[in-house]
Amino acid sequence: SALHAVFGQPISHSRSPAIHAAFGQAEGIALQYRTIETGVDSFPAALQAFFEEGGRGANVTLPLKEAAFALCGSHGTAARRAGAVNTLVWQQDHWHGENTDGSGLVRDLTSRHGLDLRGCRVLLLGAGGAARGVAPALLDAGITELVVANRTPARADTLVDALGEPGRAVSAYWEALNEQGDFEIIINATSAARSDTPPPKLSLGLVNSRTSAVDLNYGAAAVPFLSWARAAGCRKQIDGLGMLVEQAAAAFHLWHGRHPDTDPVYAQLRTQTG
Ligand code: ATR
């Protein structure tokens, strides 16, 4: 059966093996999917060893998405626009890199949570790897404006420049977000909840009665931002669990040619995650 893996550090708590096992079972596809713990420096050798064992498809997560991009001989559009790869597909003689994070988020927001992204003003908090991964797909989904705010403003400027849609993708100072009006969607793509320092405060003026708050984190790491969102009066609070399942389904499709039903796996993870 086909050998797959997710590479990252830390990786032992990854849900990806369970998700792919469930997809494989539902689709009648025999597969092995394991976790491989590796940092940036040892990633090329670890990927080579995996290949020699028969591995022909892999996911990568923190902190390897940029390293994986550099290692791939060809890239899909989403990966190129994000400058990051989360899915590797062996093609004849090289690794092809894709990025399913952004399309996974968009699919979760639209299909599962019923959001219509067209015409929306979206505030994206953060400008690291997670933000880079989802920004292009949000623009492609027809939002009107993407405002990127980051603790370190220069990184927001860099992300916005890379998106190459002046006027539609703009950066803003986090401390001056109260001048930006309100947003239909506010997305937390920071890792603030996993750090020791609290993020800069957010103004209640960012929220209207139709605002949806989205955290790319899930579990305990999604609690601070989504609690703020609830208190601020956001209509919906959405964590990153659905995106996790959808990015996996898109990777599964790239490897196996079939898009699994994500609802059963999502429901099962939800009961485990709260
Ligand atoms: P990831 O792949 O999770 O995005 P990353 O590339 O290290 O990880 O990016 C982390 C993001 O969270 C960055 O936008 C970072 O802001 P800085 O660029 O200013 O570092 C943001 N972040 C991390 N800790 C934060 C905190 N305590 N408050 C606000 N933003 C924070």
ipTM value: 0.97
pLDDT of residue 248: 98
CA count, 13 A, side-chain hemisphere, 60 = 32
For ligand 1, whether the C-beta of 190 sits within 6 Å is yes
Domains 2-99+242-273 and 102-239 alike in fold: yes
Which helix (H) or strand (E) segment holds residue 65: the answer is helix 65-71
Q: Which two tokens stand for residue 74?
A: 């060809």
How far apart (Å, rounded) are the C-alpha atoms in residues 189 and 127? 7
How far apart (Å, rounded) are the C-alpha atoms in residues 22 and 9? 23
Q: Choose the CATH number for 102-239 among 3.40.30.10, 3.40.50.720, 1.20.1250.20, 1.10.287.130.
A: 3.40.50.720
- CA 85 to ligand 1 centroid distance, Å: 18
Asked if residue 6 lies in contact with residue 17, where contact means CB atoms within 8 angstroms, the answer is yes
What pLDDT band is residue 273 in, cutting at 50, 70 and 90?
Answer: confident
Residue 151 alpha carbon, nearest atom of ligand 1: 19
Q: Is 120 helix (H, G, I), strand (E, B) or coil?
A: coil
Which residue ranges make up each domain of the chain?
2-99+242-273, 102-239
Q: What is the pLDDT of residues 168-181, one digit of tens each?
A: 999 999 999 999 99
pLDDT of residue 108: 98
- Percent of the chain at pLDDT exceeding 70: 100
- CA 217 to ligand 1 centroid distance, Å: 12
For ligand 1, whether the C-beta of 15 sits within 6 Å is no
The model's pTM is 0.96
Q: What is the pLDDT of residues 208-246, one digit of tens each?
A: 999 999 999 999 999 999 999 999 999 999 999 999 999
Q: What mean pLDDT do residues 75-95 have?
A: 96
Q: What is the pLDDT of residues 134-153, one digit of tens each?
A: 999 999 999 999 999 999 99
Q: Is the pLDDT of residue 188 over 80?
A: yes
Residue 65 alpha carbon, nearest atom of ligand 1: 2
Q: Angle, nearest 10°, between helix axes 241-256 and 263-273?
A: 140
Q: What mean pLDDT do residues 1-11 have?
A: 93
Residue 126 alpha carbon, nearest atom of ligand 1: 14
pLDDT of residue 2: 84
Q: What mean pLDDT do residues 32-59 have?
A: 98
Q: Is the pLDDT of residue 35 over 90?
A: yes
Q: Is the pLDDT of residue 192 over 90?
A: yes
Q: 28: burial class by Cβ within 10 Å (0-12, 13-18, 19+)?
A: exposed
Residue 216 alpha carbon, nearest atom of ligand 1: 3
Q: Name the residues annotated as catalytic.
A: 65
Report, in angstroms and rounded to the nearest whole number, the Rg of the chain calculated over CA atoms.
18
- CA 215 to ligand 1 centroid distance, Å: 13
pLDDT of residue 34: 97
Mean pLDDT of the chain: 96
| DSSP 8-class letter at 129 | H
For ligand 1, whether the C-beta of 150 sits within 6 Å is yes
* Residue to substitute in 69, 85, 151 for testing ligand 1 pocket (most ligand atoms within 8 angstroms of CB): 151
Q: Which two tokens stand for residue 51?
A: 């290949």
Which CATH superfamily hosts domain 2-99+242-273?
A: Leucine Dehydrogenase, chain A, domain 1 (3.40.50.10860)
Q: Is the pLDDT of residue 1 over 80?
A: no
For ligand 1, whether the C-beta of 192 sits within 6 Å is yes
Q: What mean pLDDT do residues 254-264 have?
A: 97
pLDDT of residue 132: 93
Q: What mean pLDDT do residues 13-39 have?
A: 97
